[in-house]
């Protein structure tokens, strides 16, 4: 499989953005119709998940036929070697529980992970009519998405440098564990803002929040696109003690991470 660099990712960016738009429109078209199924891990899946997955898969066969794909809905059958290769990592509907509940914070995530490192990310939030995207080393941007699939001109975004002792910390609405809550509570002046899906990464990348910690396991497809966008916007994302995250493990899981808009303010965990 080929190994893409930032230049090659730039050539793919518009095509992958178009695929997130197609998936977003498929979700809006299907809506909440149909039965909700439960996967073996207990997570829900809806006809909208399936429609978004089909839109992305069909598109990838046209725009990136030589690249391996890993997606949430086919993860059991897909285990490509991430080492020395580029893999497209897909979550066709991130935040399915929020989607079922009628909330706006659900997304379509597409990432390119090269040699285990996220390099490109595109995230579309259909109900929020917003797309965030970025390539590490080339910057990040935000676009508006209309209900007919048209997008606005890109607007550059950048993570902010927060004032001392005044932080806004993003955390999951449905998966906030005790360890993550304790980490946030220990930060002087930190204010907790809960949200669903990978919108949390986007809020940090666009300067609306300062950090997003998660000290519990999470799958690659949930975070790879957000990781790339955040770093493209000037932020950082590491393991709790500061090491690089390892994508493409056998379980396709990252044990924990700290995502900061200002790398100089990152508070790491010892031991």
Length in residues, the chain: 271
Q: Structural domains in the chain? A: 6-157 (3.30.540.10), 167-265 (3.40.190.80)
The per-residue pLDDT for 34 is 85
| Token pair listed for 95 | 């935040």
**Mean pLDDT, residues 27-52 taken together:** 90
| Cross-strand pairs, 71 | 90
| Side-chain-side CA neighbours of residue 57 (13 Å) | 12
Q: Per-residue confidence at 271, pLDDT binned at 50, 70, 90? A: low
- In the β-sheet with 139-144, what is the strand arrangement from edge to edge? 68-71, 86-94, 107-114, 117-125, 130-135, 139-144, 155-157
Predicted confidence band at 1 (pLDDT cuts at 50, 70, 90)? low
Exposure string of 184-217, with b = 16+ CB inside 10 Å and e = fewer, is beebeebeebebbbbbbbbbbbbbbbbbbbbbbe
Q: Which residues pair with 258 in a beta bridge?
A: 213, 238
Give the pLDDT score at 43: 85
- The 10s digit of each residue's pLDDT in 83-117 is 999 999 999 999 999 999 999 999 999 999 999 99
- Three-state DSSP class for 45? strand
Task: pLDDT band for 175, please (50, 70, 90 cuts).
Answer: confident
Residue 32 predicted with pLDDT over 90: no
DSSP E strands, the chain: 37-38, 44-45, 68-71, 86-94, 107-114, 117-125, 130-135, 139-144, 155-157, 167-172, 190-195, 211-214, 218-219, 236-238, 253-254, 257-260
Hey, which residues does 112 pair with through a beta bridge?
88, 120
Q: What pLDDT score was predicted for residue 185?
A: 95
What's the pTM? 0.97
Between 161 and 40, the more confident residue is 161
Bridge partners, residue 155, by sequence: 142
Per-residue confidence (pLDDT) for residue 70, from 0 to 100: 94
Structure tokens given for 29: 């078209």
Q: Which two three-digit tokens encode residue 189? A: 């002046």
What is the rounded CA–CA span in Å between residue 242 and residue 270?
Answer: 9
């Amino acid at each position: 499989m080929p190994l893409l660099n930032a230049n090659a990712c730039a050539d793919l960016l518009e095509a992958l953005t178009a695929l997130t738009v197609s998936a977003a429109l498929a979700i809006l078209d299907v809506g909440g119709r149909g039965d909700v199924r439960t996967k073996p891990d207990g997570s829900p899946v809806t006809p909208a998940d399936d429609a978004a997955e089909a839109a992305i898969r069909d598109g990838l066969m046209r725009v990136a036929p030589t690249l391996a794909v890993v997606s949430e809905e086919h993860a059991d059958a897909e285990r490509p070697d991430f080492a020395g290769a580029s893999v497209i990592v897909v979550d066709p509907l991130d935040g399915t529980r929020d989607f079922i509940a009628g909330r706006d914070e659900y997304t379509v995530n597409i990432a390119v992970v090269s040699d285990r490192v996220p390099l490109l990310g595109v995230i579309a939030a259909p109900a929020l009519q917003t797309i965030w995207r970025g390539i590490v080393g080339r910057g990040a941007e935000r676009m508006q998405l209309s209900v007919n699939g048209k997008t606005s001109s890109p607007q550059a975004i950048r993570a902010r440098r927060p004032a001392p002792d005044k932080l806004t910390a993003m955390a999951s609405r449905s998966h906030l564990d005790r360890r993550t809550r304790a980490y946030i509570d220990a930060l002087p002046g930190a204010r907790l803002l809960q949200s669903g899906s990978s919108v949390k990464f986007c809020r940090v990348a666009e300067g609306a929040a300062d950090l997003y910690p998660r000290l519990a396991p999470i799958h690659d497809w949930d975070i790879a696109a957000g990781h790339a966008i955040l770093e493209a916007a000037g932020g950082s994302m590491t393991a709790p003690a500061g090491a690089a995250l390892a994508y493409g493990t056998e379980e396709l899981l990252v044990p924990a991470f700290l995502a900061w808009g200002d790398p100089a303010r990152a508070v790491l965990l010892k031991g």
